[in-house]
A = this chain, B = another copy of it.
Amino acid sequence: MPSKDQTFAADLPEPKRLLLESVLSCADANIDASLDRLFQFLRIPSVSCDPLYTPQCQEAASWLATELENIGFDASVRQTTGHPVVLAHRRLAIGPHILFYGHYDVQPVDPLDKWEADPFDPQLRMQPNGDTHIVARGASDDKGQLLTFIEACRAWKTVTGGLPISVSMFFEGEEESGSPSMDEFLDQAGEELRADVMLLCDTYLWNDAVPAVTVMFRGLLEEEVEITCANRDLHSGAYGNAARNPIQVLAELITSLRGERGAVAIDGFYDDVKEPGEELKSELKKLHFDADKFLQNAGLSQSAGDQAYSVLEQVWIRPSCEINGIAGGYYGDGLKTIIPSTAVAKISFRLVAGQDPEKIQAMFREHIRARMPADCTVKFTGLGGSKASVIPPNSQYLRRARAALKDEWNCESVLIGSGGSIPIVSVMQSRLSIDSLPIGFARSDNRHHSPNEKYDLSSFHKGIRSWIRILAELSGGK
């Protein structure tokens, strides 16, 4: 048995390769026990947004801490102003230090009647094509995914008595409800989370056979815009034509946000956009992204964004402006003949590398203010913002993780982008200058946030094996 401080070289000489094979075999032999633990975890209804489930969130945190202690971690449940955080450390004397992030909370289960079974009574479902689905709320997002990492550590511990690399773990319980306590927690715990790289398992495979590392996330700026015209709702007969209608005003403002070609039409909006480097661009080209299929999946046939860019570029490397919601006047059954006093829209921008949320916010508000007609006032409410995150495509950690993935999946992993954000990625980048390696084994049909959420048993199993290999590779140094 190697010592607890054993580290692995990237090139894995024979003894280390044999050891790795032993760890993988251990994980294979114990997959049923791993699955049992996942089922225990899934049975805890840790819905973070519903105060009714506060005790269950606490229970899920405690369950995690106990499991981590069982495999030699110094683990603790830390109370926050919301649901607790689980922190766990197992440090070696030398070598790099990785931090693994996940979340133990889950989405609500509504609509419950669309579930084929109790969302918190996990089921194994054999599929006609030979796949096996683990069906439960959280099966994939994120309980199943985060457990792949813990079970990888367990296998290392079982075979070697330790881990090949210093590992800290950090699990929050509010990811599905906007992480309201995160900032305060990080203020307190910040330095304790310092590491060389952060790993996450909250993303997707590129396809069933090809693993992916997500190296770009768009940032986000969220604004609420309320337009007020008259001092009260007016009768549309008495005032129709004469009174400024805030819905009409808001519609004209929204229209002004996009130009003919589909690009965002705010002056200076693209000024700071940094195009991805040639290396990443060439990686993206290799993906042979099927834009038609992507659009068809949503019932669409044409992209609506800037037509100078491909669909993949539009969603990953170009910023966007979306109207997420609008409300004004009467929208129940029938019709009320009013000219409302106010109308409101929720507008968000997906930002890319180089764009500063505060600067974009100022540009946006100036754009709106400059177009306000007489007798109208506008009220802006900022709903938050975050910068885009880009993981350097030339980092040693990325290179080593991809080597490990290639060994497990027998193919090159791909580098992909995400049109959305994982807030912790940009938070850790800006607070502690820690880059992330988001590697996930979810399939695109896993129904995150929807009824009958599932995780493939093969995702769970190959996920564990992938992390076992990644831990070995990363132990080789920066």
Contacts and interface: CB of A to CB of B under 8 A. Distances in A.
A9 interface: no
A244 B304 contact: yes
Chain A: interface residue count, which band?
Answer: 35 or more
A269 B300 CA distance: 33
Given A236-B350, A329-B323, A338-B324, A242 B305 contact: yes
A355 interface: no
Nearest to A301: B375
B236 A322 contact: yes
B326 A326 contact: yes
Contacts of A419: 235-241
A122 interface: no
Interface stretch (A12-20, A22-30, A161-169, A223-231): A223-231
Q: Which 9 A-B pairs have the closest CB atoms?
A: A237-B420, A241-B305, A231-B299, A325-B329, A251-B254, A327-B331, A240-B320, A241-B314, A247-B323
Given A218-B237, A324-B339, A255 B245 contact: no
A209 interface: no
Contact of A251 (B323, B329, B384): B323
A224 to B, nearest CB: 7
A302 interface: yes
A251 B247 CA distance: 9
Interface string A380-404: 0001100000000000000000000
Interface string A397-431: 00000000000000000000011110000000000
A324 B320 contact: no
Contact of A340 (B251, B320, B325, B329): B325
A295 interface: yes
A189 to B, nearest CB: 26
A252 B254 CA distance: 8
A235 B420 contact: yes
A251 B253 CA distance: 8
Contacts of A257: 248
A365 interface: no
A248 to B, nearest CB: 6
A262 B241 CA distance: 8
A37 interface: no
A298 interface: yes
A222 interface: yes
Contact of A324 (B236, B326, B384): B236
A242 B295 contact: yes
Interface string A201-234: 0000000000000000010101010000111101
A303 interface: yes
A325 B315 contact: no
A128 B334 CA distance: 42
A342 to B, nearest CB: 12
Given A237-B420, A300-B243, A323 B248 contact: yes
A374 interface: yes
A241 B335 contact: no
